[in-house]
């Protein structure tokens, strides 16, 4: 059982900065604006020889029960309940404020070992403000600077004193969620806070090791603001893991949530809503969008959640095109289906509309769901598993070349500038997404229309609906390039 430490405190006291410092990488979004963090984020941390799970939380604020701040506080209280110890951060420059006293009492009632941390203690003013922490009755404050890394040795001593030995081993990628009673697992390289451990381009095939085949499928849930992404993920995991509400743009960080579904393991990333670029003006929203785009790049399957009441708007199509260009497997989730008076054949019409508007991923899976009621979640997850298998599919070279012969016989390549194009053979060098190399003459002269014909023929012949397909034209090496004509004629005459 790994050690878990929650970082709590008022907004803008440096919780996310300390989280990034302990995790050893910039994972959580950091900005001078108070209240950047809203959901709780977990990651693997190291402090000296202590390895533990760290939880970044939203700022504690006194608020009305129905407000967004109250929902954020509920997430923080859940993190405190899950933690073995708590870092309670105060701002040494600002000194003690009334809210600090309120939340100090909350931590005392929790009974969890609490380490009072006076952040931003660099400089004369910070050192003086740190001593005010004695008034909270939580023991001696540990003066640090999370921004510059000062005082971490004192924080290490305080954590060792708060947690009795034996000290737990380093948290592995399979233990981050065991404290909640789930089947525990997480991404490589340091918990869900590691966010994006690799580029997702390795192939899983017959020669893949068992450990690689057992990795959880990484899923990014993306869409326009207020499409219901966080609500859907909460319904999948069966708890209020993410902050939700009627307000648009609640989610800011890309938060990873482990999920076990019918014997399969997944890592689901909740992301910020993606608006049109022209509407993004604030720096914080730019950071959130960049985090969401990074989640798309390092996901294996992307669920594009579309509001059923305003389906297939221009921004939805832009996001789908981005996912295809990144080479990720795509599933369309038509959310809020419970709000739509669906007539018979409505799902079939959605499929037809998707194929018409997104020809580059023809046959993309479409699932009508409701994150609020749970309708259609089985269909959605089944589509994710199936499209992931197709995304990893490898086709034998012999089958590919039989297909090429049939495709050329059905529709020969056109002549360009009076010269016929020769397509010799095709092979598949990689998967994720399926990528093919076709060796030919005059690769740059092959028309785009004929490329599209070959891609659609590949998709239909080998059953790759909705999967991005990469087809590269490559010229065969010409053995006569660079040879002099005179030298060739002389050699022929000698042979005679």
Per-residue confidence (pLDDT) for residue 5, from 0 to 100: 94
Phi and psi angles of residue 240, each rounded to the nearest 5 degrees, phi first: -80, 70
Whether residues 383 and 422 fall in one domain: no
Going by pLDDT thresholds of 50, 70 and 90, the confidence category of residue 55 is very high
* CA dist., res. 222 & res. 272, Å (int): 7
CATH number, domain at 341?
A: 3.40.50.300
Percent above pLDDT 70 for the chain: 85
Q: Which pLDDT score, from 0 to 100, does residue 490 have?
A: 59
**pLDDT greater at residue 481 or residue 336:** 336
pLDDT at 195 over 50: no
Of 271-275, 441-445, 484-488, which has the strongest mean pLDDT? 271-275
As for how many domains the chain has, the answer is: 3
Identify whether 486 is part of a domain. no
Non-local CB neighbours of 252 within 8 Å, separated by 6+ positions: 29, 36, 37, 38, 272, 284, 287, 288, 291
First-residue to last-residue Cα distance in the chain: 84
Q: Are residues 219 and 121 in the same domain?
A: no
User: Does residue 365 share a domain with residue 216?
Assistant: yes
Full strand arrangement of the beta sheet holding 50-56: 41-47, 50-56, 4-9, 85-91, 114-119, 142-143
Number of C-beta neighbours around residue 152 at 10 A = 18
Contact 282, 205 (CB under 8 A): no
Split at pLDDT 50, 70, 90, the class of 206 is very low
Domain-located, residue 47: yes
Report the pLDDT averaged over residues 78-89.
Answer: 92
pLDDT bin (cut points 50, 70, 90) of residue 168 is low
Q: Is residue 311 one of the residues assigned to a domain?
A: yes
Clarify whether residues 350 and 209 are in a common domain. Answer: yes
Q: Is residue 488 part of a domain?
A: no
Of the residues 391, 423, 445, the one at which a domain ends: 391
Burial (CB count <10 Å: 0-12, 13-18, 19+), residue 216: buried
Residues 361 and 439 in one domain: no
Verify that 95 and 209 share a domain, yes or no.
no
Do the domain assignments include residue 487? no
- In the predicted model, is pLDDT for residue 211 greater than 60? no
C-alpha–C-alpha distance, residues 249 and 467, integer Å: 30
More confident residue, 436 or 24: 436
Q: Residue with structure tokens 């990034």? A: 20
Asked, for residue 80, whether it belongs to a domain, the answer is yes
pLDDT at 25: 84
Sole residue written with tokens 């648009």:
248
pLDDT in tens, 320-378: 999 999 999 999 999 999 888 777 888 899 999 999 999 999 999 999 999 999 999 99
Predicted TM-score of the model (pTM): 0.82
With 90 as the cut, is the pLDDT of residue 435 above it?
Answer: yes
pLDDT of residue 281: 67
Choose one of 376, 391, 406: the last residue of a domain: 391
User: What DSSP assignment string belongs to 19-60?
Assistant: HHHHHTS--S---SSTT---S-EEEEEEETTEEEEEEE-PPP
CA atoms within 13 A on the CB side of 420: 5
One domain for residues 263 and 348 = yes
Q: Indicate if 307 and 403 belong to the same structural domain.
A: no
Residue 429's domain comprises 397-475
CA-to-CA distance for 108 and 111, rounded, in angstroms? Answer: 6
Mean pLDDT of all residues belonging to the chain: 83
For residue 210, the model assigns a pLDDT of 44
The pLDDT value given to residue 209: 41
DSSP state of 167: P
d(CA 220, CA 246) in angstroms, rounded, equals: 21
Residues 303 and 233 in one domain: yes
């Amino acid at each position: 059982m790994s050690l878990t430490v929650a970082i709590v405190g008022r907004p803008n006291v440096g919780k996310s900065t300390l989280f990034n410092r302990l995790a050893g990488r910039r994972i959580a979004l950091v900005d001078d604006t108070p209240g950047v963090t809203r959901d709780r984020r977990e990651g693997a941390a190291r402090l000296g020889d202590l390895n533990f799970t760290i939880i970044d939380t939203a700022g504690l604020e006194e608020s009305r029960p129905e407000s967004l701040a109250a929902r954020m506080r509920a997430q923080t209280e859940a993190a405190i309940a899950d933690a073995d110890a708590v870092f309670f951060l105060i701002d040494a420059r600002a000194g003690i404020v009334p809210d600090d006293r309120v939340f100090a009492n909350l931590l005392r009632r929790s009974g969890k070992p609490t380490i009072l941390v006076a952040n931003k203690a660099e400089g004369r003013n910070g050192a003086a403000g740190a001593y005010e922490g004695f008034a909270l009755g939580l023991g001696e404050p540990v003066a640090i600077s999370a921004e510059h890394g000062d005082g971490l040795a004192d924080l290490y001593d305080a954590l060792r004193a708060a947690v009795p030995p034996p000290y737990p081993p380093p948290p592995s990628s399979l233990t981050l969620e065991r404290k909640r009673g789930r089947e525990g697992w997480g991404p490589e390289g340091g918990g869900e806070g590691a966010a994006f451990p690799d580029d997702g381009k390795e192939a899983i095939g017959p020669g893949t090791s068992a450990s690689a085949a057992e990795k959880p499928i990484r899923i990014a849930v993306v869409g326009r603001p207020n499409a219901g992404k966080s609500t859907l993920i909460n319904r999948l995991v069966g708890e209020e893991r993410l902050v939700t509400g009627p307000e648009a743009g609640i989610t800011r960080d890309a938060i990873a949530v482990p999920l076990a579904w019918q014997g399969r393991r997944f890592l689901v990333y909740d992301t910020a809503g993606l608006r049109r670029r022209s509407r993004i003006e604030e720096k914080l929203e730019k950071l959130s969008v960049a985090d969401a785009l990074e989640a798309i790049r390092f996901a294996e399957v992307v669920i594009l959640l579309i509001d059923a009441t305003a389906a297939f708007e221009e921004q939805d199509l832009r996001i789908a095109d981005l996912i295809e260009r990144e080479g990720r497997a795509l599933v369309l989730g038509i959310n809020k289906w419970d709000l739509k008076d669906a007539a018979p054949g409505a799902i079939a019409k959605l499929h037809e509309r998707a194929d018409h508007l997104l020809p580059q991923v023809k046959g993309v899976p479409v699932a009508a769901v409701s994150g609020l009621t749970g309708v259609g979640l089985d269909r959605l997850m089944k589509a994710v598993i199936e499209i992931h298998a197709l995304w990893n599919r490898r086709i034998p070279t012999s089958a590919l070349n039989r297909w090429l012969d049939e495709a050329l016989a059905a529709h020969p390549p056109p002549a360009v500038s009076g010269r016929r194009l020769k397509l010799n053979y095709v092979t598949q060098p990689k998967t994720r997404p399926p990528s093919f190399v076709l060796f030919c003459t005059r690769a740059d002269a092959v028309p785009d229309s004929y490329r599209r014909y070959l891609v659609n023929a590949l998709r239909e012949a080998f059953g790759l609906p909705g999967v991005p397909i990469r087809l590269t034209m490559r010229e065969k090496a010409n053995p006569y390039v660079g040879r002099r004509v005179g030298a060739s004629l002389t050699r022929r005459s000698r042979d005679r």
